[in-house]
Amino acid sequence: MKNKENFWESKPVTTFFALIALISGFLFLNSGITGSVILNNKSSFDLFSLIGILLIICSVILGLYTIKKR
């Protein structure tokens, strides 16, 4: 069991998850948060933008954790 715990806390695994979260966060961000509100006439904030922002924040936290763990 201890070997599995070391695997999930290893530097390459956390770096991999940080990169996946960052890429998927940018994919979830759409034009709703970037300012095309005037043309679309809809609210500028939707669920997919929120998911994208949360994934980007998670990737930053994982990145900082990986850097601090050295």
What pTM was computed for the model?
A: 0.67
Per-residue model confidence as pLDDT tens digits over 33-54: 555 555 555 555 677 778 888 9
Measured between alpha carbons, how far is 44 from 9 in angstroms, rounded to an integer? 37
Q: Which pLDDT score, from 0 to 100, does residue 59 have?
A: 92
Per-residue model confidence as pLDDT tens digits over 5-24: 676 667 788 888 889 988 88
What is the domain range of residue 25? 2-69
Q: Which pLDDT score, from 0 to 100, does residue 63 have?
A: 87
pLDDT band at 57 (very low <50, low <70, confident <90, very high): very high
CB 63 within 8 A of CB 18: yes
Query: In degrees rounded to 5, what are phi and psi of residue 30?
Result: -130, -170
Q: How many folded domains does the chain comprise?
A: 1
